[in-house]
Structures are given as C-alpha cells and as structure tokens.
C-alpha cells in the first residue's frame, strides 16, 4: 500500500490540500448547477435543483477551515464559466454574472493574496 501511495504521489503531510481540493471541486460544480438552474426556465425542478446544489456548496464551505480560499476559487470558476457563456452563446444575461464575479475575484486576490493557508 505504501508503494501505491508513492506511485500516485500521495503525501500524508498534505492531506489538508487534498481535502480542500475535493471540497472546492464539489462546491464549484454545485455553484455552476445553481446558476444553470436559475438561468433556465422557471420550474419546480429547477428551483429544487438550485436549492439542493446550493445547500451542498454551502456544506462544502462550512467543512473547510480555508473558507476564503474556497469562496474565491468557486467565484473564480464561476467567472470563467460565465465569460465562456457570454462569448460562445451570445446570451446577454451572462454579463450580469461574469462582470461582478470577475470584479469580486480580482478584489479578493488583491486584498488577500498573501494570507497563509490553514493546514489542519
């Protein structure tokens, strides 16, 4: 088992990094589903999908001690995906997400760029 961990590059000293990576990935995907559900046609399914996905994203945010990092990364992924939607679909509703998300990410990066990670 130790050999397998060595082959895949698993480092026991960086378990916190794997945790944050998994939680950030799940939170980002769930946040994208919230936006997709809310931007789609109004239906009870889309509303329930948005509520459920939002609850999972908030749960991921609550589980990590690096909340600011998770929030910034999720908003950054949301900004990038929104810009893709604006550029490739021609849908002007995406501007309402892309511009504020981009400005928020830039503000977070400028203000908290030197904050250390919590390695618990």
- Tokens 């980002």 sit at which residue? 28
Q: Would you kindly state where each structural domain of the chain is located, as residue ranges?
A: 2-112
Does residue 76 contact residue 106 with C-beta atoms inside 8 Å? no
Q: How far apart are the C-alpha atoms of 108 and 9, rounded to whole Å? A: 31
Tell me the C-alpha to C-alpha distance, in Å, between residue 65 and each of 53, 70, 86, 92, 96.
Answer: 21, 9, 33, 36, 30
pLDDT in tens, 30-41: 999 999 999 889
- What does pTM read for this prediction? 0.83
Q: How far apart are the C-alpha atoms of 25 and 49, rounded to whole Å? A: 18
Does residue 101 contact residue 79 with C-beta atoms inside 8 Å? yes
pLDDT in tens, 37-73: 998 899 999 999 999 999 999 999 999 999 999 999 9
pLDDT in tens, 81-91: 999 989 998 77
- Confidence (pLDDT) at 92: 79
For the CA atoms of 76, 23, 114, 109, the dihedral, rounded to the nearest 10 degrees, stands at 10
């Amino acid at each position: 088992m130790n050999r397998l961990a060595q082959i895949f590059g698993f480092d026991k000293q960086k378990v916190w990094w794997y945790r944050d990576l998994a939680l950030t990935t799940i939170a980002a995907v769930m946040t994208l589903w919230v936006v997709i559900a809310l931007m789609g046609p109004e239906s009870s399914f889309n509303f329930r999908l948005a509520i459920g996905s939002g609850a999972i994203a908030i749960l991921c945010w609550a589980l990590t001690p690096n909340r600011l990092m998770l929030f910034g990364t999720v908003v950054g992924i949301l900004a990038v995906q929104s810009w893709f939607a604006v550029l490739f679909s021609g849908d002007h509703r995406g501007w309402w997400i892309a511009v504020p998300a981009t400005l928020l990410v830039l503000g977070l990066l400028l203000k908290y760029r030197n904050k250390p990670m919590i390695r618990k």
